[in-house]
């Protein structure tokens, strides 16, 4: 069975929903406090996918995700390596990483996304929403099919909630070109018809190029600001009754669950191919 590690602790608060997503997707989720990794009780290399959920790590006091990212980058494990060293090996072993909201902020500040230079150095940053307020509502996002993300296969437009105060992705001009040329902008904010959401409120934070999610160049790492783990059932949607009335035969699964099913099935297929080649 696919083993999904879900990291929690110090203000992360969406771990239970993420565990439910993987359970419904047919994987075996394990929620682990980050301290259990720091003290060597948990070895991340024993898992198939690592997940950094949303929340308010360390109260976001120094900028969202900055304190947690620095701990992952500099705190030594019992084996004298950092967790960032372990994550680099995890990726080299062709495993997968998902970061959502606060988790996306970790990935950006750690240099895991977009990682265009393959140096694992921070290339972008996240700033306060243009609105100046915490945005807690539903938006639409469109998948970039050219991103070829295994997480987003078969999805076109997805309604999904956002819950963040610092979700504005800021890119240097050179980096912008690399992201667009390499189709690392895996997910962008849009309106209900799929048109780019250049303005507020369809774009909840003013993110560059309407970017809601970034892949790395390997397509093994995905970070996104919206919360697909909060749309596992049709009944999570605030307008579920009308959706059901408009299409009585619609599935009762939430579209957010498809992201987790996609990656679990992708890993299963990959493992089968590896076994058959032996």
**Catalytic pick among 86, 229, 237, 266:** 229
For this structure, is 101 an active site residue? yes
The answer to whether the beta carbons of residues 215 and 152 sit under 8 Å apart is no
To the query of whether residue 227 is one of the catalytic residues in this protein, the response is yes
Backbone angles phi, psi at 124, to 5 degrees: -145, 175
From the list 101, 141, 164, 190, the catalytic residue is 101
Are the C-beta atoms of 202 and 189 separated by less than 8 Å?
A: yes
Annotation says 266 is catalytic: no
From 14, 17, 164, 227, the catalytic residue: 227
| N-terminal to C-terminal alpha carbon distance within the chain | 19
Q: How far apart are CA 220 and CA 261, in angstroms?
A: 15
Q: Looking at the annotation, which residues are catalytic?
A: 101, 227, 229
């Amino acid at each position: 069975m696919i083993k999904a590690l879900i990291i929690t602790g110090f203000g992360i608060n969406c771990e239970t929903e993420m565990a439910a997503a993987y359970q419904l997707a047919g994987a075996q989720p394990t929620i682990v406090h980050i301290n259990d990794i720091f003290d060597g009780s948990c070895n991340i290399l024993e898992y198939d996918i690592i997940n950094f959920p949303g929340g308010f790590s360390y109260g976001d006091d120094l900028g969202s995700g900055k304190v947690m990212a620095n701990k992952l980058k500099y705190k030594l494990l019992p084996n004298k390596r950092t967790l960032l060293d372990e994550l680099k090996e995890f990726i080299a072993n062709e495993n997968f990483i998902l970061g959502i909201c606060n988790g996306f902020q970790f990935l950006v500040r750690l240099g895991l996304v977009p990682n265009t230079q393959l140096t694992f150095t921070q290339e972008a940053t996240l700033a306060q929403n243009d609105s100046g307020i915490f945005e807690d509502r539903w938006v639409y996002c469109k998948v970039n099919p050219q991103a070829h993300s295994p997480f987003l296969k078969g999805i076109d437009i997805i309604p999904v909630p956002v819950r963040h105060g610092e979700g504005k992705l800021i890119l240097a001009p050179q980096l912008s070109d690399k992201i667009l040329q390499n189709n690392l902008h895996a997910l962008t904010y849009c309106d209900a018809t799929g048109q780019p959401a250049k303005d507020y409120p369809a774009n909840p934070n003013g993110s560059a190029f309407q970017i809601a999610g970034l892949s790395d160049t390997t397509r093994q790492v995905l970070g996104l600001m919206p919360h697909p783990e909060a749309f596992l059932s049709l009944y999570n949607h605030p307008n579920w009754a009308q959706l059901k009335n408009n299409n009585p035969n619609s599935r009762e699964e939430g579209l957010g669950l498809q992201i987790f099913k996609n990656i679990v099935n992708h890993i299963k297929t990959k493992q089968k191919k590896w076994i058959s080649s032996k």
